[in-house]
Structure 1
Amino acid sequence: MVAIHSAVVALLPLIPSALGQTCTNIAPVNAATFAPGYEGRVVVNGLKGPRGLIFDIQGNLLTSEQSAYGVRYIQLTDNGGTNICVKSQKQLIADSSLNHGIALSANGKKLFASSKSTVYSWDYDGSTGTVSNKKTVITGMSTSGHATRTLLVPKSQPNILLVQVGSNGNLDTGAAQPSSGRSQIRIFKLADIDAGPKAYTTGEILGYGIRNNVGIAEDPHGGIFSVNNGMDDMTVSGKDVHNTNPCEELNYHGRINDTSSAERGKSYGYPTCHSIFDPSVLPSPFNTQFKVGDTITNGASSAACTRVAPKLCFPAHTAPLDLKFNAAGSAAYVTFHGSWNRNPPDGYRLSRVAWNPQTGQPVANVTSGAGAAENIMVNANNNAGCPNRCFRPAGLAWSPSGKLFLSSDTTNEIWVIGGAN
């Protein structure tokens, strides 16, 4: 018994490290302020413009890095709460053309990533962190204007890939035509693109006339939503109203497995129709005729527009880049990247949008304006260094254990957010 007791005593100092550890604190480049009930800490820093985030089946975190890098593979150790450490990390794909989009097939064995012009696939092994058999699967995307190409494999229809392309400039008149291949989301069958490259304009149109809808997500009902960046330097009847107009939009594209959805293949109005955020600055008589969320052209009423109207209207030039729904379908989290086109700066925050899990739609409506979202993580002072030297959120991902991770591309960090549910 003495020998056994001695052995147990000898092992006691090893127990804490076996059960868990306290991660080394990583100081953020810019401190963030959190709403009550939320907290956050930097999990990894020193990255190269991290954008899209996704977890594989094994619980490893993948991020696209837009600053001449490619895709990074990060193994994590979860000690509970926000006490999450990097176990190891490495460059998974070295390709300086990859800049944002990243997705995995439902079985976790096929990885997709995008450049400005092309979507590629690789056979992926999450256990070893390796890729092989690179293929070009989608080609011919516009190489001018907005560079990001968001990718999504919907859970409710895992045999397809959604691919987004933005406009070729601030006011892209050609994007009004579906055949342009710009300012739209298209649908591709995985079996088709695996068999050989397909031109972007051969995909089925889910929605078009959406200037730059970088964030695309699926809610638990199978509904597809996107967040759109409205145009810069907006004028109405010759008056500059751009500082507080137009809205940044939350758009609904129907349930992905419902081909008869009323929204399927429809126009969302760009470049002709825009949603008003601040009617008070419009020239007379529009400043008394319009309310938040109304659709306007350059001097025409909403009756001149035939389009799918947005579900929510966010403040101008806050630049939403991603959204993710919680598992219960009671909230959507949105990253607002911020824009150069507003003074004082706005955005640069993570927000929560309350959701109705029964209807699969937001609790607020399009007239709610800024009240549609609760800000839960913000810069202490947007005037101090924004847009290029402050916390600037980009991508979001839920870990397999239900924790929300966020990338900040200007500060080259990935955060874990405590309290998000």
Structure 2
Amino acid sequence: MRLFDFAGVTALLVAGAIAQVPQLPRPRNCNGVGNFRFQYTTSNGWTAFKIAGNLRQVRTIVFDTKGNMLVAEASRGISVHTFGTDGCINGTSMLISASQLNHGLALTPDGRTFNQKTVVRGMSTGIHFTRTIAVVPQQPNLILLQVGSNSNFDMDSARPSTGRAIIKIFDTSRAPSNGWNYNTDGEVYGYGLRNTIGFVPDPNGHFWGVENSGDDFYRTENGQRRDIHNDNPAEELNYLGDPLTVRNAWYGYPTCFAVWEPSNFPGTSLKTGSNFVVSPNGTYNDATCDSQGAIPPRLSFQAHSAPIWNAFDAEAKNMYVAFHGSWNRQPATGYKVVEIPFQKNVNGNYEPVAPADSKTGYRDIFSAPNPSGCTTFGLTNSNCFRLTAVAWDPAGRGLFVGSDNSNEGEIYILYPPA
């Protein structure tokens, strides 16, 4: 297997030929794997098991078509892990060493391409430097590639031509020899997405993204400035739609944001999930977001939870989201994995069971026992785990979850209730 290199930060690998993944038992004890580095608690009948440790900043986990686990380890590269009949890891090797790799990893379904080339170049850099990639299931020559904003309020990103706060679509089969230019080539799938680190397809191939929203918010009305940052804006679950048909969808950033706590907006009819602006006036106010077509989230999360990756279970009855954890809220929040019940509607589309204005549309299944006591020192150093990758195991064991805490990169399996 070889690497598609995206400006040195994102990897697209190719899997082997399609094969049936054998079912494996849930391991209860694996030699050489230490105890959990940090304390945890589970709920709703879930149990947790540490399957791997001593990794470096686990960011993404994917499984190939034979059930091997590939892990993107930030600043190290991509490691591959095979499993024995006892369900434990029985072999680990570095597939690709890449000191500048930071996040993205995806597999194509055909297993026929074995080369390395630049496909996309010229991506912006800034405070949000992760680069998430996804293959379009319905048309695997197409890839989705994300770039976040370069500041808290990146006002220039309102123009898609800046190539920030955006997800674009590129055709890898038609890439020129020196690669597509991110800003000027490709097509705009969605923009106004401040930092959509995770996005995954449902069984129809329609994508759902989890959005990290802004920090340190104040609302200015009639000359009065109020601090609303502790509980607003909401983090978001956005329905991004069918990448074969959706183009130029706008999700509001950098001017429109989602409400989490409506009580911070007295005198308005805003609900959880409603669009708001930070400085409403006579010409641009909360209602302007809707009239100009800003797409609100399909579901909202507590402010500053930092959703970083999402995955469906095998039947898409639930989505799972890893929350990296907050730095801009007191008490702290996040540091957990949540389960979002989904349903298939009569029209064949999937969506959360909860309405868009719900605060209870998800439930904790795995978390730090006292998130309010978690402290974040920089991006990955904390006295709690920093949850990142989530991937449903094709061998039937449960949900694999990664932590990129710089003290120790770990991977856990969460076993669902029997």
Q: How does 1:22-421 map to 2 (within 5 A)?
A: 22-24=29-31, 26-66=34-74, 68-79=75-86, 84-110=87-113, 123=114, 133-193=115-175, 196-201=178-183, 202-237=185-220, 238-257=225-244, 259=245, 261=246, 264-282=247-265, 284-286=266-268, 289-300=269-280, 301-305=285-289, 306=292, 307-358=294-345, 359-369=349-359, 371-387=360-376, 388-402=382-396, 403-410=398-405, 411-419=408-416
Distance 1:42 1:64, change over 3 A: same
The residue matched to 1:244 in structure 2 has which SS? coil
Name the amino acid aligned to 2:260.
F
- Tell me the distance in 1 between the aligned counterparts of 2:412 and 2:319: 18
Structure 2 partner of 1:118? none
User: How far apart are 1:109 and its partner, in Å?
Assistant: 4.8
Work out which structure has the larger RCO, using CA pairs closer than 8 Å and 6 or more positions apart in sequence: 2
Give TM-score scaled by structure 1 length.
0.83
- Is the 8 Å Cα contact of residues 157 and 165 (structure 2) preserved in structure 1? yes
Offset, 1:31: 2.3
| CA distance in 1 between partners of 2:103 and 2:319 (Å) | 21
Q: Quick one: distance in 2 between partners of 1:78 and 1:343?
A: 46
Report Cα offsets for 1:89-148 as digits up to 9, x if no partner: 1222111111000111112455xxxxxxxxxxxx3xxxxxxxxx4321111111122010
What amino acid is the match of 1:31? Q
Aligned residue for 2:84, secondary structure, equals strand
Equivalences, count: 368
| SS at 1:395 equivalent | strand
* Contact 1:26 1:41 (8 Å CA) reproduced: no
Amino acid at match of 1:389: N
CA deviation digits over 1:60-88, x for unaligned, max 9?
1111111x211111112253xxxx31211
Report which stretch shifted further, 394-403 or 308-317: 394-403
Q: Which SS does the other structure have where 1:174 is aligned? A: helix
> Which deviates further from its counterpart, 380-389 or 172-181?
380-389
Q: Distance in 2 between matches of 1:55 and 1:46?
A: 20
Give the Cα–Cα distance (whole angstroms) in 1 for the partners of residues 212 and 29 of structure 2.
40
Residues 295, 183 of structure 1: alpha-carbon distance in 2 compared, 3 angstrom cutoff = same
SS in 2 for 1:187: strand
Classify 1:74/1:297 alpha carbon distance in 2 versus 1 (closer, same or farther; 3 Å).
same
Larger Rg: 1
Deviations 1:237-260 (A, max 9, x none): 021110110010111121223x2x
Gaps of 5+ in 2: 1-26, 377-381
Distance 2:139 2:227 in 1: 44
1:32 CA drift (Å): 1.5
The SS at the match of 2:196 is coil
* Deviates further, 41-50 or 30-39: 30-39
Q: Distance in 2 between matches of 1:141 and 1:375?
A: 35
Between the aligned partners of 2:318 and 2:198, the Cα distance in structure 1 is 15
Offset at 1:30?
1.0
SS at match of 1:31: coil
Letter of the structure 2 residue corresponding to residue 304 of structure 1: T
Secondary structure of the corresponding residue to residue 260 of structure 2:
coil
Give the equivalent residue in structure 2 for 1:7: none
Q: SS where residue 384 of structure 2 aligns?
A: coil
| Pair 1:366–1:21, CA change in 2 (3 A) | closer
CA contact (8 A) 1:349 1:377 kept: yes
Matches of 2:28 and 2:233, distance apart in 1? 48
**Contact preservation (8 Å) 2:333, 2:372:** no
SS in structure 2 of the partner of residue 147 of structure 1: coil
- 1:205-227 residue CA offsets vs partner (Å, 9 max, x unmatched): 11000100001010012211101
User: Which consecutive unaligned segments of at least 5 residues does structure 1 have?
Assistant: 1-19, 111-122, 124-132
Compare 30-39 and 210-219 and name the one that shifted more: 30-39
Bigger helix share: 1
Structure 1 Cα separation of the partners of residues 37 and 28 of structure 2: 24
Q: Which runs of 4+ in 1 moved over 6 A?
A: none
Q: Residue type matched to 1:89 in 2?
A: T
Distance 1:269 1:207 in 2: 10
| Structure 1 position 339, deviation (Å) | 1.8
Q: Which amino acid aligns with 1:73?
A: V
| Secondary structure of 1:134 counterpart | coil
Contact 2:106 2:135 in 1 (8 A): yes
Shift of 1:389: 1.9
Q: 1:295 to 1:385 in 2, by over 3 A?
A: closer
Which residue does 1:128 correspond to in 2? none
Describe the superposition over 1:353-392 as per-residue Cα deviations: whole angstroms up to 9, x where unpaired.
Answer: 01012331111122102x0111100111124443312122
Distance 1:146 1:140, change over 3 A: same
Does the aligned pair in 1 maintain the 2:330–2:372 contact within 8 Å?
Answer: no
